[in-house]
Structure 1
């Protein structure tokens, strides 16, 4: 996510400043002991967030959402119900179409159910989950819930890598595949969901693979020449076709 924002023109520091990490102690700040190396760039200056604390001295998810007014919420906590109604409604009050992604699995550990998220935002939230959830019926509209599954990205990533015989899989190739997948989303069509269905994996993988090949070519990582990424991917995809057998 940070690298994607850098591709869009932000510096590494600017991108990191827009990401707030909440762990068991609450919002990660630079004065905390035991921060992991990968957490340090995102730890906030305590002096800038001290006023966010609740009357009880808490500086957790609820306090951060109420003061920061974020546009996206990503849950990987495995804490059932961590995205409370108050948190979701606070987020929606400041953002017309919040992106809310309860990614924990299995299903019973999801931070919140899509049905509740959509109900609390009057159907406005953009929702995808880490576990499978069925469609949600709300006020006469059916919302299909997309599952953010590795299967939507990795087959295309592997195919693109094989097609161009990339020397390595770069961050740029990952991001190109992710952006290609995102291009297939249609937030305005509730019946499709925020992500394609796994049943569309063949078409999705081809789209991702083409983008991955192009990113490898742009980065000089290809070990074979590829004149047309689209044609190369189409030629590499195996199609299961069987010749009819006629008994003698």
Structure 2
């Protein structure tokens, strides 16, 4: 008895006279097939465009339009129960247990996926320690992939803080102690000269998105070296759950070039190289070999997302490879896009246009300058004024004070465009009092820096001060939601990077928004993949921001929200993907032709479904 690996594998192109003809169902030809299929998935060609829809309900619309048929058998019995992609646990039917030699290997009860989901959530809620919940979810992902994603999709608002920020930060800190099995590829300096061979050790060949880190700047926690793997793993689980990219197309990678974290170097449980970080030419050569090997292995359209690289490398890598690879830096571009979306949406509450406002950043690193540049680009686009002119409405404060012209010689290159004429200012409070911004944005990675004096100063000259405390995890947030609402006397519009509970102030309940990158990157990635984009253009980021801002309704504004709730994230992601793909087609950067007529419906048809398959 043969159980097929993925419904994708079952797709047999029996005959095609011209584009647009139906694929013939493969179940009549092949011995082992799916027993039940949704009726709207029978046709191989997408009804709303020219792309392929998956005959069996698996997420094939993100794949090439024409696939050479092949088969792959998976052993039954005990081995099947140890295969997370196919294992259904107690949901295997009586018929399936007979057909696949599962009798006696499972208790006699048959449970539906819905009951399994209810049971696991009940168990998960018994844990009091967030890291225990994280580990339970990771164990489930390694045991039953579809149930893991069904839980994450159905309970996204509850589980997002478990599998990602803020719990993933603690998981990375303790990764050496909790590490059980590989969830991605670790490429260290030991593999220099043979990275392409190492990539081939990964069992999947049709990879569409890679999230890669070198672990030097994990969230606001600093250099965690090889233990930064928790970030790519977490990000890619969100690519699937929130953006619908199939799990088998996702590859987490950690580049281990050493660590400067003395605590880790002396930790007997540390799992990475025990020496200082490689720098300079050695680092550059290693990255070049990696980028070349990825492109050679997976092709021109492989999306490479840089994650948690230190500032001095992040900007350089993005600038170096953006013209030769499909690359995206979530810390620079994803953060910028999600913040811009919140700013565009907040205009309904603040009034005016973006160009009417003044922005002050605490933090002038990759996140802060990335956000600032995208705001300037959007203002330039809307006003037809030069970007250089729009930058003058944006001010940055770093560890030495306000970034001003008199400091230009000592500034890093990426800060220089933001050095405006002004007398030197040392503190954030003095900067707020001098600049009088309407929007205060924190990307400093330092907790409790938006003090009571700072918030009260913002409230003294703004009817509705917009306060964005974006640093992660929660301990590094510039202020809490309660502090922002209390110190502004309930007048602040607040959003943060990490989640905060609703706050009651003077009899009114405020629901803080979360400017989480998870709003943007899953849909953004899906949009790039489904149109076959070959490069990322800044206009695509603007398109993503506009799509997210458009999802904020009057009902959300009434609660003070500038972001829609995460429970609607798949719908949000489909709109973001459609906008991004449309912009790629407009710019001539899309390679999958012809363009589907309805990009939103096409994006929805691309999305991975976590529902169990029925096997014969």
Q: TM-score of the superposition, structure 2-length normalised? A: 0.36
Unaligned runs of 5+ in 2: 1-374
Residue 564 of structure 2 corresponds to which residue in structure 1? 196
Q: In the alignment, which of 38, 41, 45 is matched to residue 417 of structure 2?
A: 41
| Correspondence 1:9-158 to 2 at 5 A | 9=383, 10-32=385-407, 33-45=409-421, 49-50=422-423, 58-158=425-525
Contact 1:135/1:142, CA 8 A, preserved across alignment: yes
Q: In the alignment, which of 225, 237, 246 is matched to residue 607 of structure 2?
A: 237
| Shift, 1:18, TM fit | 0.9
| Shift, 1:244, TM fit | 7.5
Q: Counting helix residues as a fraction of each chain, which structure ranks higher?
A: 2
Between structure 1 and structure 2, the one with the greater Rg is 2
> 1:193-234: per-residue Cα shift (whole Å, max 9, x none)?
322233322111112111111211221211122133223212
| Shift, 1:124, TM fit | 2.0
Residue 414 of structure 2 aligns to a residue whose secondary structure is coil
Return the alpha-carbon distance in structure 1 between the equivalents of residues 548 and 487 of structure 2: 28
Q: In the alignment, which of 559, 575, 581 is matched to residue 213 of structure 1?
A: 581
Unaligned runs of 5+ in 1: none
Residue 167 of structure 1 corresponds to which residue in structure 2? 534
> 1:145-186: per-residue Cα shift (whole Å, max 9, x none)?
222112111110011111211121211111111121122235
Contact 1:210/1:230, CA 8 A, preserved across alignment: yes
Aligned residues: 236
Contact 1:177/1:212, CA 8 A, preserved across alignment: yes
Return the alpha-carbon distance in structure 2 between the equivalents of residues 157 and 240 of structure 1: 20
Residue 20 of structure 1 aligns to a residue whose secondary structure is strand
> 1:102-158: per-residue Cα shift (whole Å, max 9, x none)?
111221221111111111222221111111211111122222222211211111001
Return the alpha-carbon distance in structure 2 between the equivalents of residues 123 and 185 of structure 1: 21
Instruction: Return structure 1 stretches of 4+ with deviation > 6 angstroms.
Output: none
Return the alpha-carbon distance in structure 1 between the equivalents of residues 566 and 536 of structure 2: 23
Contact 1:164/1:225, CA 8 A, preserved across alignment: no
Contact 1:151/1:198, CA 8 A, preserved across alignment: no
Return the alpha-carbon distance in structure 2 between the equivalents of residues 76 and 169 of structure 1: 24
| Shift, 1:243, TM fit | 6.4
Aligned residues: CA RMSD: 2.1
Return the alpha-carbon distance in structure 1 between the equivalents of residues 567 and 505 of structure 2: 25
Residue 45 of structure 2 corresponds to which residue in structure 1? none
Residue 494 of structure 2 aligns to a residue whose secondary structure is strand
